[in-house]
Chain A
Amino acid sequence: MEWVGAAVDRVDGRSKITGTATYSGDVNLAHMAHAVLVLSTIASGRITTIDSSEATRMPGVLAVITHLNSWKLPDQGRAGVNPPAGRVLTLLQDEAVYFDRQPVAVVVADSLDQAKAAAAHVKIGYAAQAPTLLFSQAKAGAHAPEKVNQESADSERGQIPADSFAGIQAVYTTPMQHHNPMEPHATVAQWQGDQLILYDTTQYVSGCRTTIAKTLGIPRDNVRVISPYVGGGFGCKGSTWAHVPLAAMAARQVARPVKLVLERPQMFGPVGGRPQTEQHLLIQADDGHRLTGTRHEVFSHTSMIEDFTEPSALQTRMLYGCDNVQTSHRLVRLSVGTPTFQRAPGEATGTFALESALDELAYRLNLDPLELRRRNEPPMDQDKRLPWSSRKLLECYSQGARAFGWSSRNPTPRSMTTGKLRVGLGMATATYPANRSPAAASAALTEDGLLIVKSGTQDLGTGTYTIMTQVAAQTMGFPLAQVRFELGDSRFPEAPVSGGSQSAASVTPAVQSAVAQLRRKLMELAAADQGSPVFGAPLEDIVIEEGAMGRRGEQRREPVAALLARTRTSHLEAEAATKPGAEKQRHSFHSFGAVFAEVHVDPELGVVRVARIVARYDVGRLLNAKTGRSQLLGGIVMGVGLALMEESVLDQRHGRIVNANLAEYHVPTHADIGIIDVDVIDDSDPYIDPLGARGIGEIGITGVGGAIGNAVHHATGVRVRDLPITLDKLLT
């Protein structure tokens, strides 16, 4: 049975819909206490006084933990720093305050209500210093990061000519954003002697384990991280933020298991977010509409305590053919929480700037924006000087344009209408790197013939359980129901962070390899067993189909369970570790896509609605037509939010996020989403991994901001270079 690629329903769907899936915050242990974070209300300075006497006396309160009575950690709590999992954290080690909503105390009580009530009575005095909050001013002191995604912060090839036939020079900005997965961060910490168990909602169980062990100064073997279900991550759960070690510290201090769940406003500061960017673009073309020069300079903010770079210029190094390209990334320090990876870090914001600038250039050239891109399709990755592993972007353009009806577009801005509304049609290119990391998996057969496959990967709601079950079932020759895939436990064979669109490419080879080894062992067992229909057969003549074994070309089949019972085999297992080879030295790996957007704009009120998006992607082989489509579709919805709504507003005096809740931090509602038509050029990447699948976690959001911005310009004649495109920017 060909399971890989099929539109298989989520294997964990029923458990989620019926509420039996146990998320971290659902874990309840005997004698468990509840912890609540107290966060700073200043953005810079130090704590001068802490009066917890009243809080300590309140009913049910077990502890009020501050820097005065906390567990003193090695290296001031910074022994675990090693991104992406290990970040520079503030763990109640001293009185310094570096950002608003920094954890400054933890209150532990018998019940959540008691802890919350007491937390409101912890009185903290500060000596505040003037925070650095104005990006425009702080930019003067911008510094270059050491590296940007393991690449150099700056790049230069050729020399941008001083003159050009046509050119665009413009500045684009994107705001600070926060991830806001539906499930907030949650940790339950339990000590059993010197063993620490963490039920933590994380995109990286093994990274969390290492970070916690180092941070607390305990052996890695003493830490276990369990995370079977994650209610959305979008990057903020890729790192182990302060609440995780704080929960462990609190549990040790009160000698009880402790649950710590962040409240929604607490997700706007101490657990990362997307930094704001200011992107300076210069793009030039000659009279043949070929790009002659591209410069992309990115400024993004980081915190006072750690460098994180939004790598918005990386795609500009390789996306289009151009001999003269300069890019740079610079960091602006602000008194805010450290930003982090969020939904296609770099490409989501970078393609907005680059694809907007290309649209502007196309208008300058009086050329169809799609044609401009086609003419600058590069034969190879000019940055890495490598051929593409596969690049079907031209097919994405043509298939997308046909499905969208691009040819009927009148290019003149404000020329198209529907009823009283202006219609805008815009397009942009989507892209995201294809990554693969080392990963391991184990496979075992129970005595009744159930295949259990384990890997310490994660499912953020994206479909990992399902695609790994498909891969295992197909490799073994089992029906899906005879396979159980388990993940989210640091005791399982190690897998990488579920971030950077790499889980599919990294973990499927390990699952395939472990299951293939187990299959071989099973065949050897059968071939040596006189009762088996394949007794004495060479392994290459043995087949397993629908869970039963037989000789190729013969009718007789025996269920695997019967073989195991007869041979009294109670356990058969195999384990495999796989890793990428030298393919990255030989090819450049990226996914691509073409995004077409139709917007309707009210000409007087400026209200923008995205009526339709058509997108075609080249992501290698899609492992599940249903969950894959859903993931791409979800990325596009996030792109609508990026384009039109999402913005964390920083109070310029206090450094506190003003709209730290889901009523005022807008993401799209159902009513904001029109038709979304997604499809893939379903063609294996021949080099990325045995199945030819590239990850699809991030690419859906890329290009959407540009496509919508370009459509809004087409509808209105107004070029909005500052996201989000809110209606006040269109009132002309």
Chain B
Amino acid sequence: MHNFSYARPRDIEAALRLAAQPGSQFIAGGTNLVDLMKGGVQMPGRLIDITRVTGLARIHELPQGGLRIGALATNADTAAHSLVRERYPLLSQAILAGASPQLRNMATTGGNLLQRTRCPFFYDIGFRECNKRNPGTGCAALGGFNRNHAILGTSEECIAVNPSDMSVALVALEAVVQIRSLRGVRQVPVAEFQRLPGDTPQHDTILGPGEMITAVDLPGNSLARHSHYLKVRDRASYAFALVSVAAALELEAGGVVKDARVVVGGVAHKPWRVAEARALLVGHHLELRSLEAVADAAVRGAQPRQDNAFKIPLMKRAVVRALSEASQAGRTGT
């Protein structure tokens, strides 16, 4: 590991002042960053440990409805929080589908939103080509083992996937990221917080230098009761998604769909919204034909690579399954 300086401020202002200096990086749970530093993938000159900053770990109700999850709330605490479980079970399911209990005890909301891809060519500096790690060096995944790489929204510069389960649920729930810097405060929907690689895959998100995630706000809505997070993976626990689906429905009495959200994971550089889902489902009963139409929409434009063509049929089936499960979820009251 390379040498770095380390600071542990007690309040946000001090943290932001430190972060304004070049080469600085925040660290909280460190479940991803420490790995990357050990592997020589990231070499921040200064680490700003924000785990002692007060007030960032709270989970509380917002006055206009909805819930604010502090950036330092651990994934374990968030998934187990009674209000999250009651109003946003989708989020709880998604978090619990990821990592391991030990990791979830350390990992935080803000860190989860910023976790880097598991692309092996990014993660191992023994492979020289990686536009995300070293812009301009090429993409080793294009001609290499890319079974778990993206099929949607890729570029010739990068086909990495975002590994977060939590983010997929947050996009479906239309959550908003609260961001602070010395310049002020801004709010960005999670759906726009993470970005597609384009020709600058070194940027995973829109977060700028010196900016800190302080919280994620979940709006009050009626999508909670009929929701389901489906994760398909190579083993039953502690594996990244091959594909995942966050499905949330608002159903009228009689089963007509009033509103719908479908977001898929494991297939793009960010959670991938299936925007057509609303138009295809709202105003109708859930029928296999419409579910399959949403599934088709989910993979429209998909560009498979040599090892990951299976993700297209798998994703379609997963979308149908997740929507079916989401509609069932209301009946069992979960």
Q: Assess whether B209 is interfacial by the CB under 8 Å rule.
A: no
Q: Which of B40, B124, B314 contacts A120 (CB 8 A)?
A: B40
Q: How far is the CB of A564 from chain B (nearest CB, A)?
A: 51
Q: How far is the CB of B126 from chain A (nearest CB, A)?
A: 5
0 or 1 for each of B128-145: is its CB under 8 Å from A? (1 = yes): 100000000000100111
Q: Assess whether A117 is interfacial by the CB under 8 Å rule.
A: yes
Asked whether, in the complex, the Cβ of B1 is within 8 Å of the Cβ of A116, the reply is yes
Q: Assess whether A253 is interfacial by the CB under 8 Å rule.
A: no
Asked whether, in the complex, the Cβ of A645 is within 8 Å of the Cβ of B234, the reply is yes
Residues of chain A within 8 A (CB-CB) of B1 are 113, 116-117
Q: Assess whether A142 is interfacial by the CB under 8 Å rule.
A: no
Asked whether, in the complex, the Cβ of A656 is within 8 Å of the Cβ of B124, the reply is yes
A116 to B128, CA, bound (A): 20
Q: Assess whether B318 is interfacial by the CB under 8 Å rule.
A: yes
Q: Could you give 5 example pairs across A and B, Cβ below 8 Å?
A: A101-B126, A117-B3, A660-B124, A728-B242, A731-B313
Interface centre among A658, A660, A666, A671 (most CB of B within 10 A): A658
Q: How far is the CB of A655 from chain B (nearest CB, A)?
A: 11
Q: Assess whether A13 is interfacial by the CB under 8 Å rule.
A: no
0 or 1 for each of B228-247: is its CB under 8 Å from A? (1 = yes): 00001011111110100000
Residues of chain A within 8 A (CB-CB) of B143 are 653
Q: Assess whether B331 is interfacial by the CB under 8 Å rule.
A: no
Report B183-226 residues with CB < 8 Å from chain A CB.
Answer: none
Q: Assess whether A726 is interfacial by the CB under 8 Å rule.
A: yes
Q: Using A117-B2, A120-B2, A653-B144 as known contacts, say yes or no to A606 and B314 having CB atoms under 8 A apart.
A: yes
Q: Assess whether A30 is interfacial by the CB under 8 Å rule.
A: no
Q: Which of B40, B145, B242 contacts A727 (CB 8 A)?
A: B242
Q: Which of A101, A660, A668, A731 contacts B235 (CB 8 A)?
A: A668
Residues of chain B within 8 A (CB-CB) of A671 are 235-237
Q: Is the interface of B mostly helix, strand, loop or mixed?
A: loop
Asked whether, in the complex, the Cβ of B127 is within 8 Å of the Cβ of A605, the reply is no
Residues of chain A within 8 A (CB-CB) of B140 are 651
Q: Assess whether A182 is interfacial by the CB under 8 Å rule.
A: no
Asked whether, in the complex, the Cβ of B235 is within 8 Å of the Cβ of A728, the reply is no
Q: Which of B2, B118, B128, B232 contacts A607 (CB 8 A)?
A: B232
Residues of chain A within 8 A (CB-CB) of B6 are none
Q: How large is the interface on A (under 10, 10 to 19, 20 to 34, 35 or more residues)?
A: 35 or more
Asked whether, in the complex, the Cβ of A672 is within 8 Å of the Cβ of B237, the reply is yes
Asked whether, in the complex, the Cβ of A649 is within 8 Å of the Cβ of B234, the reply is no
Asked whether, in the complex, the Cβ of B236 is within 8 Å of the Cβ of A658, the reply is no
0 or 1 for each of A406-448: is its CB under 8 Å from B? (1 = yes): 0000000000000000000000000000000000000000000
Asked whether, in the complex, the Cβ of A727 is within 8 Å of the Cβ of B314, the reply is yes
Q: How far is the CB of B272 from chain A (nearest CB, A)?
A: 18
Asked whether, in the complex, the Cβ of A609 is within 8 Å of the Cβ of B236, the reply is yes
A672 to B237, CA, bound (A): 7
Asked whether, in the complex, the Cβ of B127 is within 8 Å of the Cβ of A654, the reply is yes
Q: Which of B124, B144, B147, B318 contacts A265 (CB 8 A)?
A: B124
Residues of chain B within 8 A (CB-CB) of A101 are 126
Residues of chain A within 8 A (CB-CB) of B318 are 605
A649 to B234, CA, bound (A): 15
A580 to B234, CA, bound (A): 46
Q: Using A120-B2, A664-B120, A728-B310 as known contacts, say yes or no to A658 and B234 having CB atoms under 8 A apart.
A: no
Report B134-171 residues with CB < 8 Å from chain A CB.
Answer: 140, 143-145, 147
Q: Assess whether A568 is interfacial by the CB under 8 Å rule.
A: no
Residues of chain B within 8 A (CB-CB) of A117 are 1-3
Asked whether, in the complex, the Cβ of A605 is within 8 Å of the Cβ of B235, the reply is no
Asked whether, in the complex, the Cβ of B317 is within 8 Å of the Cβ of A726, the reply is no
Please name the residue on chain B nearest to A610 by beta carbon.
B236
